[in-house]
């Protein structure tokens, strides 16, 4: 957002000017609670408030970026014709940009490339490109380090229905909508980038979270603050002002901010106010516990769950029984970036545990929800 603003007002005497357009679904009879909070408008307001307060999303220097590391290994071998593992490590890890990658992890990446027949070792010990690696590095698109998206083919029997980005693929047993029809995911073949489905009837339609970048925890916290406030931001037009008022009223009536969860007959919908990584972490906790859960832009809904079961699940999260690696092993899709498919599953699990999950923040939100639930129970008992 700051970059976009920086591209305007470059001529002398002209102010920097930016128009931000927010697109949310118009309310209708099947609108979800999250839809009626107009989450994209909330995010736009939150981002504007954070920008005006001089906040800048912090650099995440702890990510492994193994897809980019694979790209750089192949590039070095193509440039030099061959290098030892020690020389590669010195160039890319010790003196390069991948200093958070341990020596053990680097060796695992090299073994992955060997297993996928991208590199091979000479009798002298040097690593060189294998024929498959030669073909990949000769492709004109090789030096574009980032793929626009990882797409999966969706197939029913012997027929291809279409494609979906990896971030939009639900786990086995859940539904997706494609070609105007509802399908149940039967199997996912990550190697072949193929999802096998069968026709599905009934059930709740999945909510796609979009394929944009990750949303930081601080942004989502500010979205909550926007809902809790009563100000009228002067930079919003009339329609946005109206929608913001409607969102705030809905949040108040539904209890989105306090207590932050909605108990229904056979489900509990929780608004934990966490970013992309935290929400995925909570979803994986549910999967590990055998609870069917659906997430949208703001909430996670635990199906066939009452408050007592949810209470027990929160206690399980708080106990810390599941480590990040345990959760990553339950991810339905594990390849997200251009060269992820060159890594074996164990390496992908470790990378995803570090790069795509937020165990600390998810645990903190679960602890807060547990305290709120216990406080509510105490008040009800007193009454």
The reply to whether 275 and 367 lie within a common domain is: yes
The reply to whether 156 and 110 lie within a common domain is: no
The reply to whether 248 and 361 lie within a common domain is: yes
Which residues, in sequence order, are CB contacts of 29 under 8 Å at separation 6+?
none
The reply to whether 234 and 340 lie within a common domain is: yes
Residue 34 domain-assigned (yes or no): no
Residue 321 domain-assigned (yes or no): yes
pLDDT tens readout for residues 19-50: 999 999 899 988 999 999 999 999 999 999 99
Q: How many CB atoms within 10 Å of residue 366?
A: 23
Residue 11 domain-assigned (yes or no): no
pLDDT tens readout for residues 265-303: 999 999 999 999 999 999 999 999 999 998 999 999 999
pLDDT recorded at residue 94: 96
State how far the Cα of 99 lies from the Cα of 85, in Å rounded to an integer. 15
The reply to whether 165 and 297 lie within a common domain is: no
Does 197 have pLDDT greater than 50?
A: yes
pLDDT recorded at residue 174: 80
The reply to whether 258 and 353 lie within a common domain is: yes
State how far the Cα of 220 lies from the Cα of 206, in Å rounded to an integer. 21
Residue 307 domain-assigned (yes or no): yes
The reply to whether 133 and 264 lie within a common domain is: no
Residue 16 domain-assigned (yes or no): no
The reply to whether 181 and 224 lie within a common domain is: no
Residue 55 domain-assigned (yes or no): no
The reply to whether 247 and 311 lie within a common domain is: yes
Alpha-carbon distance values, 340 to 65, 103, 109, 166, 351 (Å): 10, 19, 10, 12, 10
The reply to whether 265 and 329 lie within a common domain is: yes
Whichever domain contains 91, its CATH number is 1.10.10.10
The reply to whether 222 and 362 lie within a common domain is: yes
pLDDT tens readout for residues 63-117: 999 999 999 999 999 999 999 999 999 999 999 999 999 999 999 999 999 999 9
The reply to whether 195 and 229 lie within a common domain is: no
* Secondary structure (DSSP) of 125-186: S-EEE-HHHHHHHHSTTTT--S-S--EEEEEETTEEEEEEEGGGPPPTT-EEEETTEEEEEE
pLDDT tens readout for residues 164-180: 877 678 778 888 878 77
Q: Provide the domain limits for residue 133.
A: 66-138
Residue 359 domain-assigned (yes or no): yes
Q: What's the number of domains the chain is made of?
A: 3
Q: Please work out, in degrees rounded to the nearest 5, the angle formed at the alpha carbon of residue 84 by the alpha carbons of 78 and 88.
A: 70
3-state secondary structure of 9: coil
The domain boundary, picked from 138, 166, 187, lies at 138
State how far the Cα of 68 lies from the Cα of 338, in Å rounded to an integer. 8
State how far the Cα of 357 lies from the Cα of 276, in Å rounded to an integer. 8
Which residues, in sequence order, are CB contacts of 13 under 8 Å at separation 6+?
none
pLDDT recorded at residue 210: 46
Mean of per-residue pLDDT scores for the chain: 90
Which residues, in sequence order, are CB contacts of 361 under 8 Å at separation 6+?
217, 274, 275, 277, 278, 281
Residue 99 domain-assigned (yes or no): yes
Q: What is the dihedral of CA 59, 64, 68, 69, to 10 degrees?
A: 130
Residues in the chain: 383
């Amino acid at each position: 957002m700051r970059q976009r603003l920086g591209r305007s007002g470059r001529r002398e005497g002209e102010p920097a000017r930016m128009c931000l357009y927010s697109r949310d679904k118009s309310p209708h009879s099947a609108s979800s609670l999250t839809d009626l909070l107009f989450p994209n408008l909330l995010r736009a307001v939150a981002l504007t408030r954070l920008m005006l307060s001089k906040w800048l999303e912090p650099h995440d220097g702890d990510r492994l970026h193994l897809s980019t590391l694979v790209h750089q290994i192949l590039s070095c071998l193509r440039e030099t014709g061959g290098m030892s593992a020690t020389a590669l490590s010195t160039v890319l890890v010790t003196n390069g940009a991948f200093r958070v990658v341990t020596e053990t992890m680097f060796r695992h990446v090299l073994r992955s490339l060997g297993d996928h027949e991208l590199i091979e070792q000479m009798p002298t010990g040097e690593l060189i490109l294998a024929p498959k690696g030669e073909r990949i590095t000769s492709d004109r698109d090789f030096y574009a380090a980032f793929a626009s998206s990882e797409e999966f083919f969706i197939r029913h029997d012997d027929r291809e229905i279409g494609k979906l980005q990896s971030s939009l693929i639900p786990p086995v047993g859940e539904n997706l909508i494609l070609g105007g029809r509802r399908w149940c995911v039967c199997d996912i073949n990550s190697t072949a980038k193929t999802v096998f489905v069968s026709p599905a009837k009934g059930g709740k339609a999945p909510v796609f979270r979009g394929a944009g970048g990750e949303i930081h925890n601080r942004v989502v916290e500010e979205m909550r603050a926007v809902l809790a406030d009563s100000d009228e931001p002067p930079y919003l037009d009339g329609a946005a002002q109206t929608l913001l008022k409607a969102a705030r009223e809905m949040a108040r009536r539904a209890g989105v901010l306090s207590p932050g969860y909605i108990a229904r007959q056979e489900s509990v919908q929780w608004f934990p106010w966490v970013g992309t990584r935290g929400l995925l972490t909570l979803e994986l906790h549910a999967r590990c516990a055998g609870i069917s859960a659906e997430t949208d832009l703001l909430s996670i809904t635990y199906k066939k769950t009452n408050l007592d079961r949810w209470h027990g699940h929160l206690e399980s999260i708080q106990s810390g029984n599941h480590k990040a690696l345990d959760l990553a092993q339950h991810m339905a899709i594990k390849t997200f970036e251009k060269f992820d498919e060159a890594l074996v599953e164990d390496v992908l699990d470790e990378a995803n545990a570090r790069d795509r999950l937020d165990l600390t923040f998810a645990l903190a939100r679960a602890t807060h929800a547990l305290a709120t639930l216990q406080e509510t129970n105490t008040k009800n008992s007193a009454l």
